[in-house]
Amino acid sequence: MKASGLINLFQDYIAGFKSYNLNVIKNCYHLPCSLHTPDKIAYLVEDKDFEEEFINIFLVLRQGHTKDIRVTKATFSEYIDGSVDVCIDWQFVDEKGEVFADFCAFYHVVNLEKNYKIISVVSHELSNSVELSSVLEIVDLNKRVENNNES
């Protein structure tokens, strides 16, 4: 089922960001890929370009004293060619529990050898969030751990 594969992809993605794990994040992407922010477009072809870009992203998150990363809304639309568009509304929370960044990101994802990979992400202000055709239930990782411990 597409939804379960997408959920796994984005749970890994969140875990990679929370742990600043470059290898986990790299496994979520296909190279080449593109990252679009209001400030720039990064077209990443080589491993070294990817690593350099995400080391810089991790630095910004560390400087913001990021304690939590939350999904407030996630939707997706799938297409006959196997590609999927995903729109996620994010909140980044600092060590004081305050939201220091909230935005939406629009992902273009492909299914390669039964694994979903991100090939493009476009980040925008939250007001640009798009409601796609299906809800994507990305379980909060902390709650997932708590639920597993209760079982």
User: What tens digit of pLDDT does each residue of 64-94 get?
Assistant: 899 999 999 999 999 888 899 999 999 999 9
Judge whether 85 lies within some domain: yes
Long-range CB contacts (within 8 A, 24+) of 92-96: 92/61, 92/64, 92/66, 92/68, 93/66, 93/67, 93/68, 93/69, 94/64, 94/65, 94/66, 94/67, 95/65, 95/67, 96/65
Here the CATH number for the domain that contains residue 84 is: 3.10.450.50
Is the model's pLDDT at 150 over the cut of 90? Answer: no
Condensed to tens digits (0 to 9), the pLDDT of residues 25-71 reads 999 999 999 999 989 999 999 999 999 999 999 999 999 899 999 99
Side-chain-facing half-sphere of 139: CA atoms under 13 Å: 11
Judge whether 144 lies within some domain: no
Domain count, the chain: 1
Judge whether 146 lies within some domain: no
- State which amino acid sits at residue 92: F
Q: What is the pLDDT of residue 139?
A: 66
Judge whether 98 lies within some domain: yes
Find the domain containing 14 and state its range: 2-138
Judge whether 148 lies within some domain: no
pTM score: 0.87
Judge whether 28 lies within some domain: yes
**Closest C-alpha to 76, from 17, 137, 27, 123:** 137
